[in-house]
């Protein structure tokens, strides 16, 4: 009978976070990232992750990726960098995001040409509209139908003139923090696209968790592209039909541990949308004194590439939808199979299942950003770019496991609890148990009383059954693998 069971699968996760794969970035970006890291004295993971957020922001909400019919990924990615005070977070954000600031300045300069004249004409048109409104009010007081009709026609014409002369807000690609109300307004004013790059995320997390009118809606809608509508008594709020929000948050590890894993941000899916990285501290006495600045040519290539993305995509009225080559589709299919296998094997221990389920989508989004950096007019993504995005995704997956599976949250303790439960089952198996009741296991694994009681025990037993360690023989009765204790010894 034992042959029919097979070898049970072991829920595992990467023990070590690999080095950030700078080689997976577009070459000009990779070179600049490496030189900035050396110049400032930080792990390449920090400028590398910021660079990915910058590429996302440079797409200004004007790309989507459709790997195949029925699947379209919205454009933006979100990145959270957890680093201790003094690890140069703000300096890295400033140097990597400088091209976005420069692009904003350029767009503003372009928008300012003739703006004063347009504003003057709008002001005059608005005065004429107000005058027409007063004339209509007088006509309605008089009661003459013909006079009223004429006044209505005049007001309609004046209103259309005001609408036609509307002067859009000055472009703004990037901001460093915003309340949810202000963020909604920024998205509305910029055609639905915006980037938040917050060098100290404590305030952001605090606001979102303490309420005071704060809402997750602009954030969640900006990541998924859902229509954003809001009604306020105090003022008119414009609707945003296809928002695209890039978010970069740089925060101290303790803040991320205390705030980022809060139930409010977990059940809403807010926390699941970020790619997480905890760069190693590399500062040593050797970093004292002047450091070599990035090569001017390398910096120019990076800045030029980001600028070209903004210039190509900002004017678009609607997002460009990128597709995949046949080879890229085959590669993505294989990566998706790997990801789904990992989801199944790690279902018991996964500290952030929402992140895991969204990871392949983030890979597709990063592939789109990198393809557009290589060619601002790109419409197709090749297999090499998909493979590079997958490698980056695997890095962020390892980093998430390290942070939330080992360092921060109760979810990390669940992974250890699964192994403890297998140890308990092995002990029962050695003492002759072949079938166990849920309540029997629950009595022996005391931690479950804290983690959710017998319901959690039943859920974890069911997950272990999916991995082949036991079988449900009848309600709340589980048949143990005939060689369970032997296999548990093998993994310990």
Question: Residue 67 in 3-state DSSP?
Answer: strand
Q: Quote the pLDDT of residue 152.
A: 93
| Alpha carbon distance 102, 95 (integer Å) | 11
Burial readout 259-268 (b: 16 or more C-beta within 10 A, e: otherwise): bbbbeebbeb
Domains, the chain, with CATH or none: 30-110+171-317 (3.40.50), 410-491 (1.10.10.10)
| Alpha carbon distance 205, 258 (integer Å) | 10
Cα dihedral 19, 404, 271, 208 sign: negative
User: Model pTM?
Assistant: 0.77
Q: Quote the pLDDT of residue 154.
A: 94
The answer to whether the beta carbons of residues 260 and 80 sit under 8 Å apart is: yes
The answer to whether the beta carbons of residues 345 and 289 sit under 8 Å apart is: no
| Alpha carbon distance 273, 227 (integer Å) | 18
DSSP 431-483: TT-SEEEHHHHHHH-THHHHHTHHHHHHHHHHHHHHTTSEEEEETTEEEEPTT
Kindly report the CA angle at 14 between 13 and 17, in degrees rounded to 5?
145
Residue by residue, pLDDT tens for the chain (492 residues) are 445 898 888 765 545 688 999 999 999 999 999 999 999 999 999 999 999 999 999 999 999 999 999 999 998 999 999 988 888 899 999 999 999 999 999 999 998 999 899 999 999 999 999 999 999 999 999 888 989 999 999 999 999 999 899 888 888 999 988 888 889 989 998 999 999 999 888 778 777 766 555 688 899 999 999 988 776 545 566 889 999 999 999 988 877 777 666 666 667 788 899 999 999 887 777 767 778 889 999 999 999 999 999 999 999 999 999 999 999 999 999 999 999 988 887 777 788 889 999 999 999 999 999 999 999 999 999 999 999 999 999 999 999 988 887 666 555 555 667 778 898 999 999 999 999 999 999 988 876 666 668 888 888 898 889 889 999 988 889 999 999 999 888 776
| Alpha carbon distance 176, 195 (integer Å) | 8
Q: Quote the pLDDT of residue 444.
A: 86
Q: Tally the residues of the chain.
A: 492
Beta bridge partners of 437: 477
Question: Residue 73 in 3-state DSSP?
Answer: strand
| Alpha carbon distance 169, 143 (integer Å) | 41
Beta bridge partners of 68: 71
């Amino acid at each position: 009978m034992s042959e029919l069971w097979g070898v049970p699968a072991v829920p595992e996760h990467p023990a070590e976070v690999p080095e950030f794969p700078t080689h997976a970035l577009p070459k000009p970006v990779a070179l600049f990232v490496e030189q900035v890291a050396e110049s400032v004295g930080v792990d390449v993971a920090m400028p590398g992750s910021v660079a990915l957020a910058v590429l996302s922001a440079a797409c200004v909400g004007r790309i989507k990726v459709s790997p195949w019919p029925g699947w379209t990924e919205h454009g933006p990615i979100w990145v959270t960098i957890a680093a201790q005070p003094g690890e140069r977070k703000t300096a890295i954000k400033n140097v990597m995001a400088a091209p976005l600031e420069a692009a904003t300045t350029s767009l503003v300069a372009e928008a300012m040409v003739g703006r004063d004249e347009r504003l003057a004409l709008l002001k005059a048109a608005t005065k004429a509209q107000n005058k027409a409104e007063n004339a209509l009010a007088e006509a309605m007081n008089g009661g003459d139908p013909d006079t009223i009709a004429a006044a209505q026609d005049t007001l309609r014409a004046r209103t259309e003139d005001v609408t036609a002369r509307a002067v859009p807000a000055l472009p703004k690609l990037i901001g460093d923090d915003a309340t949810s109300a202000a963020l909604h307004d920024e998205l509305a004013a910029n055609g639905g696209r915006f980037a938040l790059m917050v060098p100290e995320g404590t305030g952001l997390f605090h606001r979102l968790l303490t309420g005071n009118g704060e809402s997750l809606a602009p954030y969640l809608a900006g990541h998924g592209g859902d229509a954003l509508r809001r009604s306020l008594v105090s003022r008119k709020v414009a609707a945003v039909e296809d928002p695209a929000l890039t978010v970069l948050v740089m925060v101290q590890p303790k803040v991320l541990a205390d705030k980022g894993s809060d139930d409010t941000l977990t059940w809403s899916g807010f926390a699941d949308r970020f790619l997480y990285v905890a760069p190693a501290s590399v500062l040593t006495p050797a970093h004292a004194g002047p450091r070599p600045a990035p090569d001017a040519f390398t910096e120019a290539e990076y800045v030029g590439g980001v600028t070209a993305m903004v210039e190509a995509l900002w004017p678009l009225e609607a997002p460009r939808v990128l597709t995949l080559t046949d080879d890229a589709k085959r590669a993505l299919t294989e990566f998706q199979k790997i990801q789904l296998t990992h989801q199944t094997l790690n279902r018991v221990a996964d500290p952030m299942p929402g992140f895991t389920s969204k990871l392949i989508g983030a890979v597709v989004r990063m592939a789109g950003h990198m393809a557009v950096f290589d060619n601002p007019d790109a419409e197709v993504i090749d297999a090499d770019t998909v493979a590079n995005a997958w490698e980056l995704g695997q890095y962020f997956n390892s980093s998430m496991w390290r942070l939330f599976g080992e360092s921060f949250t109760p979810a990390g303790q669940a992974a250890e609890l699964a192994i403890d439960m297998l140890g308990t089952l092995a002990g029962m198996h050695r003492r002759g148990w072949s079938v166990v009741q849920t309540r029997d296991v629950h009595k022996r694994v005391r931690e479950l009383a804290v983690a959710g009681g017998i319901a959690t025990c039943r859920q974890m037993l069911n997950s272990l059954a999916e991995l082949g360690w036991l079988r449900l023989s009848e309600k709340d009765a589980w048949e143990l693998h005939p060689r369970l204790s032997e296999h548990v010894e093998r993994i310990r």
